[in-house]
């Protein structure tokens, strides 16, 4: 028994050492000869949550595989999402210290604070923040280019689509958490529904993982009459899709990546309830930034922040075959019209991210159509 | 507005929601209860649920049969429970520490295996998986209110109800159950009476692992038809809290588990309302757990003081 125990312990110790060293050795690139060209480091908290982290990681692998002189390495720095400062600064030190990378990429409202600290600490290193929400008070650091997503516009378009598709006159949205970054999704959404006189439910389950809650929240909305439900809730959104898939006359709208394509082959039940997805094309922007890095134009962008909207294909709807098949032509024409209007700036879309005090500045008139 | 929200708490649909949400919490509660009945401590229920949920889905994918997946999930649950037995009973480690260890690495280990097999880190969505059915009982399903509650539930919900009844019979109506409770009350006395205490404790841990795994598999194989990272989301802990309140009383155990499920359902109804701050609403079930555990402790304190029960 003791021997068995000892050998089990030995194996576990060895395994944990392999696991640890796997992470910390990666930045040096192992024994591979130094690759000519540009090197990009992407620091993500984790991948595999079906969010825009995944979209970015997929684009990063594509850029790396393409024959363009750019190599990309992805580091998963925070699998538990603990947002621990010492851990993150350690990762930034690892990739920035010896200047091995031409560009260091990171972002998201939970983790961007560490990125700004690193940008201050390493003034000669170029940084790209792929999703900013609160820039430092001193302005954008001179060695950093920040992008964010015109989620207000995206919400407006999704709202317009929901309003056009609903048969019951009630739609719904499930938002993972009630915070300013997440509410940027629903400002425009609610605005367009108020314009069109469509009733809506908004639910904040307060989690991104509690799939069961996502399911029940959606059942609750469906019972209140909602028949087009948008999920903005990461893993919890799987529960939303599951609930929608059980009702024949209810559509679900996905988020971040094309969720119809994601489930099409393996889970047709789910795919066939996802009318379209509200895309946040972090990959498109990442590829563009890599190109700018390669041809030297990125330097002129450093120190600036830019919103990637519909015009730049930063956000949009997934126009896959299923969408073309199930969305009537006149609705699609109307959405194309809305997209054009928003792009041209003809519509003043409410951007909750610009509000200092969300609760105070939220126009109460928009709550008139909300179903409790 | 307020009345419409509170009105929606007293509908058949709300009760059906409570039933759907109660299954994993009931499984977790009996898992904790059966271990405690022989004096064992199993706080690894959250992690066994995670392992069970994943093993069920992966088993179903690998064998192409949901029931085979269920069996594989059960085996994984039993093995994890035996691991706890090995470390705590043979190697002398504290069962609390083993539980903490298991709970700490459960999520990551699950993702590790998921990634090995599915190539994804978030969900099992890329695996075509067979799942367990919903059962409609002919005859009953046409009765107005009762039909909606008793019929059309998930198959594991019915299995849960059967388990609850069988467990009651086993613990309170058979010599085996009496011996198990004897171990829990005073292991030394039980040993003197010729009861093989270790054997019964291992048996109770195995049952505990099975029930916890069933709770996890209800989520993945039956209710949501997918394994999704972090999907157990504290439901195992609610079961443990229910057992803490019950303190050996089976009826109180089931009642507490149902009350927690009801509060979870309340937080779902309120999560789309404008009246309460949503962060507060998300905390309702956990706050309810806190309140009920406190009340139970106060009651127990006064009963001990009055000499009605012995201090434990």
Contacts of A304 (CB under 8 A, 6+ apart): A140, A145, A146
| Residue B148, domain member (yes or no) | yes
Does the pLDDT at position B2 exceed 70? no
Q: How many beta carbons lie within 10 A of that of residue A79, not counting itself?
A: 17
Q: Which residue has the higher pLDDT, A61 or B279?
A: A61
Same domain? For A102 and A7 the reply is yes
| Residue A371, domain member (yes or no) | no
Does the pLDDT at position A302 exceed 50? yes
Site from A179, A207, A211 to mutate, B interface, most B CB atoms within 10 angstroms: A211
Q: Do B272 and A220 touch (CB under 8 A)?
A: yes
Element (H or E) spanning A120, and its range? helix A112-121
Return contacts of A12-15, CB within 8 angstroms, 24+ apart. Answer: none
What is residue A276's predicted lDDT score, i.e. its pLDDT? 96
Does the pLDDT at position A277 exceed 90? yes
Same domain? For A144 and A159 the reply is no
Of A219, A263, A371, the CB nearest to B17: A219
Same domain? For A335 and A242 the reply is yes
- Chain A to chain B, count of Cβ pairs less than 8 Å apart? 127
C-alpha to C-alpha distance for A210 and B47, rounded to whole angstroms: 15
Same domain? For A324 and A226 the reply is yes
| Residue A372, domain member (yes or no) | no
Contacts of B7 (CB under 8 A, 6+ apart): none
Total domains, chain A: 2
Same domain? For A86 and A144 the reply is yes
Contacts of B57 (CB under 8 A, 6+ apart): B69, B124, B127, B129, B220, B221, B226, B227
What is residue A21's predicted lDDT score, i.e. its pLDDT? 44
Task: Give mean pLDDT, residues B285-311.
Answer: 85
Same domain? For A6 and A115 the reply is yes
| Residue B311, domain member (yes or no) | no
Name the 3-class secondary structure at A76. strand
Tokens standing for residue A301:
């962008």
Which structural domain, as residue segments, surrounds residue B236? 2-305
Same domain? For A273 and A292 the reply is no
Same domain? For A274 and A286 the reply is no
Q: Do B271 and A206 touch (CB under 8 A)?
A: yes
| Residue B312, domain member (yes or no) | no
* Nearest residue to A243 (alpha-carbon basis) of A259, A231, A255: A231
What is residue B3's predicted lDDT score, i.e. its pLDDT? 67
The residue whose two tokens read 């806190």 is B290
Does the pLDDT at position B198 exceed 90? yes
Of B229, B235, B274, the CB nearest to A372: B274
Residues of A whose CB is below 8 A from B107: 80
| Residue B296, domain member (yes or no) | yes
| Residue A168, domain member (yes or no) | yes
Q: Please give the full DSSP string across B142-207, using - where no structure is assigned.
A: GSHHHHHHHSSEEHHHHHHHHHHHHHHHHHHHSHHHHHHHHHHH-HHHHHHTT--HHHHHHHHHHH
CATH number where B223 lies = 1.10.3470
Of A209, A220, A372, the CB nearest to B231: A209
C-alpha to C-alpha distance for B244 and A362, rounded to whole angstroms: 44
- Nearest-Å Rg of the Cα atoms of chain B is 20
Same domain? For A230 and A113 the reply is no
Distance from CA of B150 to the nearest CA of A (A): 18
* Nearest residue to A43 (alpha-carbon basis) of A32, A56, A55, A34: A56
| Residue B88, domain member (yes or no) | yes
Q: Do A216 and B20 touch (CB under 8 A)?
A: yes
| Residue B290, domain member (yes or no) | yes
CATH number where A180 lies = 3.40.50.2300
Residue B169 confidence class, pLDDT cut points 50, 70, 90 = very high
What is residue A328's predicted lDDT score, i.e. its pLDDT? 94
The residue whose two tokens read 């030190």 is A93
Q: How many beta carbons lie within 10 A of that of residue A143, not counting itself?
A: 18
Same domain? For A332 and A211 the reply is yes
Residue A9 confidence class, pLDDT cut points 50, 70, 90 = low
Which structural domain, as residue segments, surrounds residue A79? 2-150+282-308
How far lies A195's CA from each of A192, B216, B274, in Å?
5, 44, 20
Residue A232 DSSP one-character state: E
Task: Give mean pLDDT, residues A329-340.
Answer: 94
| Residue B156, domain member (yes or no) | yes
Q: Do B268 and A213 touch (CB under 8 A)?
A: yes
Same domain? For A244 and A359 the reply is yes
Does the pLDDT at position B52 exceed 70? yes
pLDDT digits (tens, 9 = 90+) for A172-215: 999 998 888 888 898 899 999 999 999 999 999 988 889 999 99
Task: Please determine, for the modelled complex, whether the ipTM score is greater than 0.90.
Answer: no
Same domain? For A54 and A202 the reply is no
Q: Do B120 and A48 touch (CB under 8 A)?
A: yes
| Residue A286, domain member (yes or no) | yes
């Amino acid at each position: 028994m003791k021997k068995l125990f000892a050998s089990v312990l030995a194996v576990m110790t060895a395994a944990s050492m392999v696991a640890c060293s796997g992470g910390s050795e990666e930045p040096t690139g192992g024994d591979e000869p130094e690759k000519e060209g540009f090197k990009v480091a992407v620091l993500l908290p984790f991948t595999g949550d079906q969010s825009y982290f995944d979209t970015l990681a997929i684009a990063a692998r594509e850029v790396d595989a393409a024959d363009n002189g750019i190599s990309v390495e992805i580091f998963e720095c925070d699998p538990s999402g603990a947002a621990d400062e010492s851990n993150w600064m350690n990762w930034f030190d690892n990739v920035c210290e010896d200047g091995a990378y031409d560009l260091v990429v990171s972002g998201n409202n939970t983790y961007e604070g560490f990125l700004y600290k690193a940008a201050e600490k390493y003034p000669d290193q170029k940084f790209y923040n792929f999703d900013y929400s609160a820039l430092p008070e001193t302005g954008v650091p001179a060695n950093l280019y920040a992008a964010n997503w015109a989620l207000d516009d995206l919400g407006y378009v999704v709202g317009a689509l929901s309003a056009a598709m609903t048969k019951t006159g009630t739609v719904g949205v499930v938002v993972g958490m009630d915070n300013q970054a997440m509410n940027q999704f629903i400002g425009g959404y609610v605005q367009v529904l108020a314009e069109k006189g469509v009733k809506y439910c908004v639910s904040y389950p307060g989690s991104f993982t509690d799939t069961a809650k996502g399911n029940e929240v959606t059942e609750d909305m469906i019972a209140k009459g909602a028949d087009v439900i948008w999920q903005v809730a990461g893993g919890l959104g799987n529960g939303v899709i599951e609930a929608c898939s059980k009702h024949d006359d209810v559509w679900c709208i996905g988020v971040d990546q094309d969720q119809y394509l994601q489930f099409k082959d393996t889970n047709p039940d789910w795919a066939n309830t996802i009318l379209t997805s509200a895309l946040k094309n972090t990959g498109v922007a990442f590829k563009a930034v890599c190109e700018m890095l390669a041809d030297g134009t990125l330097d002129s962008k450093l120190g600036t922040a830019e919103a990637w909207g519909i015009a730049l294909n930063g956000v949009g709807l997934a126009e896959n075959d299923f969408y073309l098949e199930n969305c009537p032509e006149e609705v699609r024409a109307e959405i194309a019209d809305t997209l054009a209007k928003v792009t041209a700036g003809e519509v003043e879309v409410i951007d909750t991210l610009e509000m200092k005090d969300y609760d105070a500045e939220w126009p109460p008139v928009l709550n008139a159509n909300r179903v409790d | 507005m307020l009345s419409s929200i509170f009105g929606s708490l007293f509908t058949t649909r709300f009760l059906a929601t409570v039933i759907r949400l109660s299954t994993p919490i009931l499984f977790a509660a009996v898992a904790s209860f059966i271990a405690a009945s022989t004096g064992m401590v199993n706080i690894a229920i959250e992690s066994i649920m995670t392992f069970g949920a994943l093993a069920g889905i992966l088993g179903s994918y690998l064998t192409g049969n949901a029931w085979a997946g269920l069996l594989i999930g059960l085996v994984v649950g039993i093995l994890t429970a035996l691991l706890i037995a090995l470390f705590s009973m043979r190697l002398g480690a504290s069962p609390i520490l083993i539980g903490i260890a298991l709970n700490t690495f459960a999520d990551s280990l699950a993702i590790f295996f998921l990634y090995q097999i599915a190539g994804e880190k978030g969900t099992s969505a890329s695996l075509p998986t067979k799942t367990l059915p919903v059962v409609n009982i002919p005859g009953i399903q046409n009765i107005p209110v009762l039909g909606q509650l008793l019929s059309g539930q998930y198959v594991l919900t019915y299995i849960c109800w059967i388990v609850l009844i069988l467990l009651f019979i086993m613990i309170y109506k058979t010599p085996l159950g009496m011996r198990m409770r004897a171990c829990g009350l005073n292991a030394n006395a039980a040993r003197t009476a010729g009861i093989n205490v270790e054997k019964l404790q291992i048996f109770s841990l195995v049952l505990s692992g099975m029930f916890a795994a069933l709770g996890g598999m209800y989520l993945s194989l039956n209710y949501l038809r997918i394994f999704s990272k972090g999907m157990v989301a504290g439901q195992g802990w609610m079961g443990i809290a229910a057992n803490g309140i019950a303190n050996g009383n089976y009826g109180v155990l089931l009642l507490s588990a149902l009350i927690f499920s009801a509060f979870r359902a309340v937080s779902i109804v309120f999560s789309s309302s404008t009246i309460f701050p949503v962060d507060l609403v998300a905390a309702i079930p956990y706050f309810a757990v806190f309140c009920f555990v406190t009340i139970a402790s106060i009651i127990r304190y006064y009963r001990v003081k009055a000499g009605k029960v012995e201090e434990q």
